[in-house]
């Protein structure tokens, strides 16, 4: 039976509407079709035979209907113009983190900078900085051994030179050289707000990389900022991706620790999302 792309897309999109709005559902279906058929989006508009479609397409659709993020289903996602492996050990890279990477690149044109990313996950931040900046020396830390393995694979795939280290920063830091930039997108969502988050985040993404205790929600910002005073060269820069409601508290924390030139940066949705500071 022949079926047009439009008919097939609408048919599958309708099955996803309990979880997604119509436009997002259509985008997910197109992403699946591109992946499994090896076609660009414009080629999908040609007529195709429904019975010729791979069976895995329908099993992936069932996983989508269960709320599983498409990035985990396909095993990869785009970030800053490159492709990155993702799995249950890593958060899915967000658009806001691309904005963080872009800000660091724009503000730091000097060659040969030494950069540390804390809570590296897929490695998308240090890998992107390694490839977009001029001759940097880049390190990535994570508590999760599984995440470190994914990050190493992503570095190899993207031909990036990054040294990844497994450690729990709440206990100790590894030996590192003096640094020019420290960047982190640490866990920052209070446990009490878990119920307000989308089902596919809470059920599928690693809680270790997402949530912090209600009793000490700034724990990672505080520990990283305190250690940054020892690790950064004078005039070195600290960049955080932040919880939108915590900008003032984190700014005060950095000010009390002696950081200067503290700036809040809004994301494309107008929310406080990045904070930068300079070690005086």
**205-212, Cβ contacts within 8 angstroms, sequence gap of 24 or more:** 205/69, 205/91, 205/92, 206/88, 206/89, 206/90, 206/91, 206/144, 206/147, 208/143, 208/144, 209/90, 209/91, 209/119, 209/121, 209/144, 209/147, 210/91, 211/187, 212/187, 212/188
Digit-coded pLDDT (tens) for 172-207: 999 999 999 999 999 988 887 777 777 778 788 888
Digit-coded pLDDT (tens) for 46-102: 655 555 567 788 889 889 988 899 999 999 999 999 999 999 999 999 999 999 999
Confidence of residue 16 (pLDDT cuts 50, 70, 90): confident
What stretch of H or E contains 26? helix 22-37
pLDDT over 70 for what percent of the chain? 92
Binding-site residues from annotation: 119-123, 142, 185-188
Tell how strand 189-190 and strand 137-142 pair up.
Answer: unpaired
The per-type count for the chain, helices as H runs and strands as E runs, is 10, 13
Binding-site residues from annotation for S-adenosyl-L-methionine: 119-123, 142, 185
Digit-coded pLDDT (tens) for 138-176: 999 999 999 999 999 999 999 999 999 999 999 999 999
Q: Which residue has the tokens 């900085």?
A: 129
Binding-site residues from annotation for substrate: 185-188
Q: What is the pLDDT of residue 52?
A: 56
CATH code for the structural domain at 76-279: 3.40.50.150
Q: What is the pLDDT of residue 51?
A: 52
Does this model's pTM top 0.85? My answer is: yes
List beta partners, residue 104.
none
Digit-coded pLDDT (tens) for 120-137: 999 999 999 999 999 999
Confidence of residue 272 (pLDDT cuts 50, 70, 90): very high
**How confident is the model over 207-216, as a mean pLDDT?**
84
What is the C-alpha R_g of the chain? 21
By the 8 A CB rule, do 150 and 199 touch? no
Q: What is the pLDDT of residue 4?
A: 60
Q: What is the pLDDT of residue 77?
A: 96
Q: What is the pLDDT of residue 50?
A: 53
DSSP code per residue over 211-238: EE-TT-TTHHHHHHHHHHHHHEEEEEEE
Q: Is the pLDDT of residue 13 over 80?
A: yes
Q: What is the pLDDT of residue 223?
A: 97
Q: What is the pLDDT of residue 135?
A: 98
């Amino acid at each position: 039976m022949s079926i047009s792309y439009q008919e097939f897309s609408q048919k599958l999109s309708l099955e996803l509407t309990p979880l997604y709005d119509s436009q997002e559902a259509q985008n997910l279906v197109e992403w699946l079709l591109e992946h499994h058929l090896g076609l660009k989006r414009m080629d999908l508009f040609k007529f195709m035979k429904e019975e010729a479609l791979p069976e895995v397409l329908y099993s992936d659709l069932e996983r989508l209907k269960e709320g599983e993020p498409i990035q985990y289903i396909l095993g990869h996602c785009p970030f800053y113009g490159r492709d990155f492996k993702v799995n249950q050990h890593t958060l899915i890279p967000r658009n806001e983190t691309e904005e963080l990477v872009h800000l660091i690149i724009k503000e730091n044109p000097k060659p040969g900078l030494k950069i540390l990313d804390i809570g590296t996950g897929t490695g998308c931040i240090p890998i992107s900085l390694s490839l977009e900046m001029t001759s940097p020396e880049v390190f990535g830390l994570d508590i999760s051994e599984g995440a470190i393995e994914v990050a190493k694979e992503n570095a190899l795939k993207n031909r990036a030179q990054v040294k990844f280290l497994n450690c729990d920063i709440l206990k100790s830091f590894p030996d590192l050289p003096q640094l020019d930039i420290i960047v982190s997108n640490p866990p920052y969502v209070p446990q009490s707000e878990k119920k307000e988050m989308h089902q596919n985040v809470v059920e599928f993404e690693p809680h270790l990389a997402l949530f912090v205790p209600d009793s000490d929600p700034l724990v990672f910002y505080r520990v990283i900022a305190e250690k940054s005073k020892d690790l950064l060269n004078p005039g070195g820069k600290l960049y955080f991706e932040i919880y939108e409601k915590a900008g003032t508290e984190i700014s005060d924390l950095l000010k009390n620790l002696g950081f200067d030139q503290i700036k809040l940066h809004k994301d494309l949705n107008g929310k406080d999302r990045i904070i930068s500071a300079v070690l005086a």
